[in-house]
Structure 1
Amino acid sequence: MAANRRRRNSGVDDIAEAIHRMVDAMQTLVAAQPRTTIAPVRVPTVEDFLRHKPVEFNDKVSPDEADAWLRKCEKIFKVMNCPDEQKLLFATYLLNDDAEYWWTGMQQQMQTRDEHVEWTSFRTWFLEKYFPDTARQDKEAEFLALQQGDMTVQEYMNKFEHLARFSSQNMTEEWRCLKFE
């Protein structure tokens, strides 16, 4: 009986020893792995946004200026990797005077209709108000009628690129080249 106990104890001791060796080996492997830390996702603040010097917006601007304002904001949002909620907060923070009153009224209308007040809806309503389809159509007509005239090649190219984005045409590279010529 004592011999059996010693054999059992010897077997238990062997198992315990094997487990300790495995744990030691695993700890050695873990210690050898490079340490990577995942930085927490930081939500941009209004101070971060304002460091980019965005321009405030009031409604006494041309459709071109409204479009340029929105594009500048979106450029900043992209650099800052802003989530949509922050885009809405930051853009509407820049609204002044009648533009601010317009947005307050628009939010109330949207809430009454149970629409989500979010960045994409702001963008849609903003463009409808300050860069309506008629302005876009005028830009497209200007593009289609564009000729170099007395502009330098560089001036013409800049005007061409600016107006081309308003075209509803499905522009192939070949069509763009022909139109440019």
Structure 2
Amino acid sequence: MANRRRRNTAGADEIANAIHRMMDAMQPVAAPPRVMIPPVRPVTIEDFMRHKPAKFTAKATPDEADAWLCECEKIFRVIECTEAQKLNFATFLLVTEAEYWWMSMQQQMINRAEEVTWANLRTRFLEKYFPDSAKHEREAEFLTLQQGSLSVQDYVERFEYLSRFYSQTVTEEWRCRKFEGSLKHELRRFIVPLRVREFPTLVEQAKSVEQLEMGPSRVNRT
């Protein structure tokens, strides 16, 4: 009899425990605390102008037009502009004849049902101020570029700028051969035998040879 009571008690305990577990499982799970994400503040013209972009006038040379456009696009990336903001901010910088050109061009785009977007402004801007003829001139200059009286640093800067307009595929080896082949003779005779085929390394080697051959004072005066 005692054994039967103990078994009944144990069974009741198991049933009670099972009921408690079921009740616990039915309790609502507490939601994790909400993380408050601050609202993203829209980019303003003040944010753009804080980077001191230059005004653009129609008197700019093709190189200056290219540099202005590159500078604007760099700022756009930094402050994460939308396409609409790029259009508004860039046209804000157009002054005098460039502004008049854009007013006329914008009307033409509307008349021919062309979207007035940043991408289309960029295309029209390049057609006007950095046309294909300017690109071809810089490509031709790149192919005939020689260091001449330039310091290695000035030669590197011109080389890298003009190489952007070369229309053919450029390998690292070809780039190095073109660079070293256009160095002045007193540098080239030391650089070519090294057979350097990594452009940054080649540039540093040329600068080192220049300093050894000419001395720091003469390099700085060049």
Q: What range is the shorter-chain TM-score in?
A: 0.7 to 0.9
Rounded Cα–Cα distance in structure 1 between residues aligned with 2:66 and 2:126: 7
In the TM superposition, 1:137-148 aligns within 5 A as: 137-148=136-147
1:140 Cα deviation after fit? 0.6
SS at match of 1:56: coil
- Show the counterpart of 1:92: 91
Please point out which of 18, 39, 59 is paired with 2:23. 18
Amino acid across the alignment from 2:27 = M
Structure with more relative contact order (C-alpha pairs < 8 Å, separation 6 or more): 1
1:129 Cα deviation after fit? 0.2
Amino acid across the alignment from 1:178 = R
Rounded Cα–Cα distance in structure 1 between residues aligned with 2:38 and 2:178: 49
Aligned residue-pair number: 161
Identity %: 57
TM-score (norm 1): 0.82
Rounded Cα–Cα distance in structure 2 between residues aligned with 1:122 and 1:39: 34
* 8 Å Cα contact 1:43-1:82 kept in structure 2: no
TM-score (norm 2): 0.68
The reply on whether 1:45 has 2:44 as its aligned counterpart is yes
The reply on whether 1:154 has 2:153 as its aligned counterpart is yes
1:42 Cα deviation after fit? 2.9
1:19 Cα deviation after fit? 7.0
Q: Deviations over 1:6-48 (max 9, x none)?
A: xxxxxxxx79x8278521xx11xx34x6x54434333211111
1:109 Cα deviation after fit? 0.7
Rounded Cα–Cα distance in structure 2 between residues aligned with 1:42 and 1:117: 25
- Show the counterpart of 2:77: 78
Rounded Cα–Cα distance in structure 2 between residues aligned with 1:125 and 1:152: 36
Structure 2, unaligned runs of 5 or more: 1-18, 181-222
Rounded Cα–Cα distance in structure 1 between residues aligned with 2:65 and 2:50: 21
SS at match of 1:59: coil
- Show the counterpart of 2:166: 167
- Show the counterpart of 1:178: 177
- Decide whether aligned partners of structure 1 residues 39 and 175 sit closer, same or farther in structure 2, where only a CA change above 3 A counts: farther
Report the RMSD for the aligned CA atoms in angstroms: 1.9
SS at match of 1:104: helix
In the TM superposition, 1:115-130 aligns within 5 A as: 115-130=114-129
1:50 Cα deviation after fit? 1.0
Rounded Cα–Cα distance in structure 1 between residues aligned with 2:80 and 2:63: 25
1:131 Cα deviation after fit? 0.6
SS at match of 1:44: coil
Larger radius of gyration between Structure 1 and Structure 2? 2
Rounded Cα–Cα distance in structure 2 between residues aligned with 1:37 and 1:174: 53
Rounded Cα–Cα distance in structure 2 between residues aligned with 1:166 and 1:94: 26
Structure 1, unaligned runs of 5 or more: 1-13
Further displaced range: 37-46 or 135-144: 37-46
Rounded Cα–Cα distance in structure 2 between residues aligned with 1:69 and 1:158: 17
